[in-house]
Amino acid sequence: MRFPEYRPRRLRQSKAFRQMIRETYLDASDFIFPMFVVEGKAIKMPLASMPGQFQYSPDILAKEIKQVVDSGVSAVILFGVPSKKDALGSQAYANDGVIQQAIKRVKDISPDLTVVTDVCLCEYTDHGHCGVISGETVDNDPTLDLLAKVSISHARAGSDMVAPSDMMDGRVGAIREALDESGYEYIPIMAYSAKYCSAFYGPFRDAAQSAPQFGDRKSYQMDPANGDEALREVELDIDEGADIVMVKPALSYLDIIWRVKSSFNRPVAAYNVSGEYSMLKAASQNGWVDGERCMLEVLTSIKRAGADIIITYHALEAARALGKAEAKR
């Protein structure tokens, strides 16, 4: 069918037609909101490189959690920022560690809010790498035991789902086995499966104080140039027991989201990371782009590419914007 029989503009001429043929809808329930929790009291510290985002101490989470719930967003992903770091990242699995306190606090405030927890060591190690160091390398296999310990401690504190972001080989299997042995066979794993070694994590590393103190993460995170390798990573994680697989970052990797969604019949999450958020905020604060419209366009593109779940710092704003649009209809 071609012009003049087919005129695509026919179905664009009214709002009713446009709505009728709309293919992608965003909903507050698509989003997971990331939050940074620091040790201390009465802290609400704005993050300079992530306008509108903060570090919170566990004691003052109530107000913020209420805002999350009121926005309609039904899940948060928590990142702990400990005050003490050591070579093994022991605060990551300490019973009274900042993340364990944060999980309990959020569950006390709002038992129905789903709490996802990031499982990694980089915020907790003094060298800033995501695993145990031996010489100059990150030693894969000894790291697995620690990640399993971290996951169990999160589950014990009340986490609803663990999300390993370390990119060690075999960690999903190790975590699944450990959770099952400890009686947490119903705690799902959302695996950061295709996690790239991306410069877009810059602002997050300020927020989580997790920049590597030497070298980089190229020996464990993926090369941005690779696509087939992402499918191999996802396949491995599914074989090892991942319930949800993730692509991260989102925007420069929409093709990967699409390939993962079309190759596997699994729920796919995409992480709209810190640098993607900050870029848009900076342009919008300068008046260079319409921030709200760009935000919704970005999130729609991630969903259209195949993501079922979007982890995004825009979550609350986006949920509110969608609510407003709904009210106007």
> For binding to ligand PBG (CB under 6 A), which residues are involved?
118, 120, 122, 130, 165, 201, 204-205, 210, 273-274
Helix (H) or strand (E) holding 118: strand 114-119
- Choose, from 85, 195, 261, 281, the residue flagged as catalytic: 195
CA distance 26 to 307: 11
* CB nearer to ligand PBG: pick between 93 and 201: 201
Least distance between ligand PBG and beta carbon 17 (Å): 38
The CA dihedral of 280, 282, 285, 290, to the nearest 10 degrees, is -20
- How long, in residues, is the chain? 329
* Catalytic annotation present for 66: no
- Of 191, 122, 184, 125, nearest to 154 by C-alpha is 184
Helix (H) or strand (E) holding 104: helix 98-109
Distances (CA, A) of 121 to 92, 162, 298: 7, 14, 30
Question: 173: number of CA atoms within 13 Å, CB side?
Answer: 11
* CB nearer to ligand PBG: pick between 62 and 294: 294
* CB nearer to ligand PBG: pick between 201 and 253: 201
CA distance 32 to 40: 25
For residue 305, report the phi and psi dihedrals to the nearest 5 degrees. -70, -20
Least distance between ligand PBG and beta carbon 120 (Å): 4
User: Which residue type occupies 180?
Assistant: D
* CB nearer to ligand PBG: pick between 6 and 68: 68
Least distance between ligand PBG and beta carbon 327 (Å): 30
Question: CA 81, 85, 90: angle at the middle one, nearest 5?
Answer: 95
* Catalytic annotation present for 195: yes
CA distance 117 to 144: 17
Question: CA 249, 252, 257: angle at the middle one, nearest 5?
Answer: 70
257-268 b/e (C-beta count within 10 Å ≥ 16 → b): bbbbbeebebbb
* CB nearer to ligand PBG: pick between 128 and 329: 128
- Choose, from 63, 149, 248, 281, the residue flagged as catalytic: 248
User: Which residue sits closest to ligand PBG, CB atoms considered?
Assistant: 204
* CB nearer to ligand PBG: pick between 9 and 218: 218
- Of 118, 109, 117, nearest to 70 by C-alpha is 109
* CB nearer to ligand PBG: pick between 182 and 209: 209
Helices 291-304 and 254-263 pack at an angle, to 10 degrees, of 30
Active-site positions read: 195, 248
